[in-house]
Amino acid sequence: MKVIVLSLSNFKESDVIYNAISEESSLSFKAYRGQDNKSQYLWLNNPLVIADVEFADRRYKYPTLKEAKLIASPLKGDNQLEYLYSIAAITEIANNVLPEEERHKLFSHIEKAIIALQNNKDHLMVISILLANAARLAGGELEVDQCVFCGATSDIVAFSFADGGFVCRNCLADSMIADLSATQMKLIRYVFKAPNYDCPESEKYKAEDKKVVLNNLVHYVSDMNGVNLKTISNLLE
The mean pLDDT of 131-139, rounded to a whole number, is: 97
Q: Are 126 and 116 in contact (CB under 8 A)?
A: yes
The mean pLDDT of 33-57, rounded to a whole number, is: 91
The mean pLDDT of 200-219, rounded to a whole number, is: 96
- Pick the closest to residue 129 from 194, 85, 82 (CA basis): 194
- Write the CB contacts of 119 (distance below 8 Å, at least 6 apart in sequence): none
pLDDT at residue 8, as a whole number: 94
- Pick the closest to residue 103 from 11, 212, 22 (CA basis): 22
pLDDT band at 138 (very low <50, low <70, confident <90, very high): very high
For the cut 70, the answer to whether the pLDDT of residue 217 exceeds it is: yes
What mean pLDDT value characterizes the chain?
93
> pTM of the predicted model, to two decimals?
0.92
pLDDT at residue 90, as a whole number: 97
For the cut 90, the answer to whether the pLDDT of residue 22 exceeds it is: yes
Side chain identity, residue 151: G
Domains of the chain: 2-72 (2.40.50.140), 81-236 (1.20.1440)
